[in-house]
Structure formats: structure tokens, C-alpha cells
Amino acid sequence: MRKTAIIGVGCTKVGEFWDKSLRDLAVEASWKALDQAGVSKVDALYVGSALCQLVQNQGNLGALIADSLSLYGVEVLSVEASDASGALALHEACRAVGSGEVNLALAVGVDKPSDASSADASKALMAGVEQEYLAYTGVNVRGLAAFLHRLYRERFKVSHEEVAAMAVNSHLHASNNPYAQYRNRITVEQVMKSPVIADPLRLLEVSSLGDGAAAVLVCPLEEAGKYAGTPIEVAGAASASGDFILTEAEDMLSFKATRLAAEKAYRRAGITIKDVSLAEVHDCADVIGLISLEDLGLAERGEAAGMAASGKLAVGGSLPTNTMGGLKARGNPGGATSLYQIVEICWQLKGEAGANQVSNAKVGVAQSLGGLYSLAAVTVLRRV
């Protein structure tokens, strides 16, 4: 397999866009990524979306977005893997380029949940979770996270305030990200006073859906010099499946999908956790972000909350995490969210992260979950 590099990234702001369609968002992000590399054509297009079939009733997204980009004759593939859709689209793009079959592949993640009512969006989000035994009870994704929140605090003897520090950290970072949906800073006190949405989870601890698209352009590493811009190596990309029914996991507070994907991705990249400069983790709820850090090996079991509370996850801390706001504050545009993580790490590794720049960032790890815990995508990016 050839080594691959990212030579262009782009994203839209995350928000509620009443005047833009699914395809408008995808095109905006894609043109940014293509412009950065100075190209207008690609050989293959991979489009990840978690919700488009349920919210817009739009399938066949690969061909739709290709046509919208005036790309004809390209190989297209639509990828659905819940919130990890975008990351898996990128992994497929890297595999295609790595194999030597294509030279330029574009991965796009897009979703526009604001087209759905709250109940329909909640149901659509649950499509990534097992239907016969879990969704059937009427539980929503936040309800599942609420169980883990309670169990995490009981098992590891950490306070609600320490867990909430994860959400506070994400908002702190989003305040400097012009693409973020929620740029307001919040305090632990505000989190603790926000309404309970699924006991014991409070409103300010969970991400909310937004519209958005992100795009990443991939070429062979050895050819990256031919294009404009600074290349970033995709050093290791791996995904892994895990338990599909939460209550059947041996340990509900550790997702084997993340552990197995991380192991593979680190091995492929030839790195250890000591090499990691910054991380993007799937904080759809604060506690899920904490569990993710622990499953990635970047925090000891039960200690991620303490790291959040002591500022270690902030820019300038020992492990800057979710440096552009994470799902919590940058916003969670469904299948696009995992490609936003990639875009943001590229900004960091290229030194383009503005006020949130992590000094001397060399290696970034992005982790995304599909179906809350059953599927994980881990991507290791490295400055060339």
C-alpha cells in the first residue's frame, strides 16, 4: 500500500441553515478542499452521511454530490456508519489511493438534520443503535449516555462537576472557532443549573445536532508536492466494530470498538500514545468523550474527568482535546462530524488553528463513534 496524504480540507460553519440544501453544504465544503490543492477533478468520491436517507429521503448521495461538483465518470460510494460515516468515507478514500487504483480521492461528510422535527431527528439518530431491544424501549441516544454517566461516576467516584468539565473545555475552545455552532463559553455552575434531559444528564452536557459538511482531499504522499498547500500524512486509519447491544458489553464503561480501532491505527502509524500531540474525541455527551479518551489509552481508566477538571485537556494543557469545540460546541452534524475532526487536526498540524493553535503539534488522533459505542473510527494524522 502507498502512503497517503491530505492535501486539502474544507468545512462549512455548523448551524441551522434554512437557505441551504444538503448538496449546497457538501459543495461548499468540497470546493474549499479542492481549491486548497488547486484541483477541480478527482478520480473517486466518497460521501458519508448518517441521516440523509431518513431526514431528506435522499439516497445515492455519491452520485448526487458528484453531479453537484460537475464530476462525471468518477467512482462514487455512499457511506453510512452513523456519526462515523465521514471518517469511514475518508478511510475508504485512503484505501483507494493507497491501493494505487486512483490518485485523487475526495471524502465528504454531510448532514442537514434541521430539515426534520425533533422527534424525527431523535428517531433518525437512533437508527445507528440496535432496534429490536434498545430503540424499542423508546430510549434516545441521550438516554443511553445517561446510563453511562451514572455508572461512570459511581464506579470511578468522580463528581458530576468533574464530568461536566469536559463540556466546559469544549465550549472554551469553540469560542475561538468561527465554524462552531456554539461559541459561548460556559461554566461548570451553568452546566449544573441547566435542565435535566435524561437523569442525570443535563442539557449543557450533550451535543445537539446541527447542519454542516466537511471535505478532505487525499493523494499519494509521494505525489503531495505536486499540489498547492501543506500535506498532512494519514499515518494510520482503522475502524473496528464492537458490542451492538450496550447491556451485553462485558464492561459498559469501555467501548471495545474504540480500543480495537486505536490499537490497529497506532500500529499502522507506528506510534505510541506518547507521540500524540492532540486528540479529537467523540463527545456527543461529556461522559462519552471521557470514556473515549480512556479507551484510546490517552487517559487511565476513570481519570479523564480529573484531567478535564484540572485543565489538562485545554490548549496549553498536557493533552489538548477537542481544540475546536468537539461535538459539544462546534456542533454535531451527524455523518459530517467525524470529518470535521480531521479538518480541525489538519489545521493544527499545519499551524492554521489561530488562537487555539497547539504549539509544535506533530501527531493528532481523531476518534469517532457510530451508534454511540458499537463502531469506532480512529485516524492518526502526522505532520510531514
Partner 1 sequence: MIRESPPRGYELQVPYIIGIVELGEGVKILSQIVDVFPEEVRVGMPVEMVFRKIREAGVEGIIEYGYKFRPRMAK
Q: Which residues bind partner 1 (CB under 8 A)?
A: 117-123, 126, 133-140, 142-143, 147, 195-199, 246-248
In this complex, which beta carbon is closest to partner 1, that of residue 131 or of residue 359? Answer: 131
Termini Cα distance of the chain: 18
In this complex, which beta carbon is closest to partner 1, that of residue 131 or of residue 360? Answer: 131
In this complex, which beta carbon is closest to partner 1, that of residue 119 or of residue 355? Answer: 119
Cell of 261: 480501532
In this complex, which beta carbon is closest to partner 1, that of residue 67 or of residue 248? Answer: 248
| β-strand pairing of 212-220 with 4-11 | antiparallel
Cis preceding linkage at 200, omega within 30:
yes
In this complex, which beta carbon is closest to partner 1, that of residue 26 or of residue 116? Answer: 116
Alpha carbon distance 34, 129 (integer Å):
34
Q: How far is the CB of 130 from partner 1 (least distance, A)?
A: 9
Q: How far is the CB of 297 from partner 1 (least distance, A)?
A: 27
In this complex, which beta carbon is closest to partner 1, that of residue 64 or of residue 198? Answer: 198
Q: How far is the CB of 202 from partner 1 (least distance, A)?
A: 11
Q: How far is the CB of 111 from partner 1 (least distance, A)?
A: 17
In this complex, which beta carbon is closest to partner 1, that of residue 107 or of residue 126? Answer: 126
Q: How far is the CB of 191 from partner 1 (least distance, A)?
A: 16
Q: How far is the CB of 376 from partner 1 (least distance, A)?
A: 21
Q: How far is the CB of 131 from partner 1 (least distance, A)?
A: 11
Cell of 330: 462546534
Q: How far is the CB of 339 from partner 1 (least distance, A)?
A: 24
In this complex, which beta carbon is closest to partner 1, that of residue 137 or of residue 359? Answer: 137
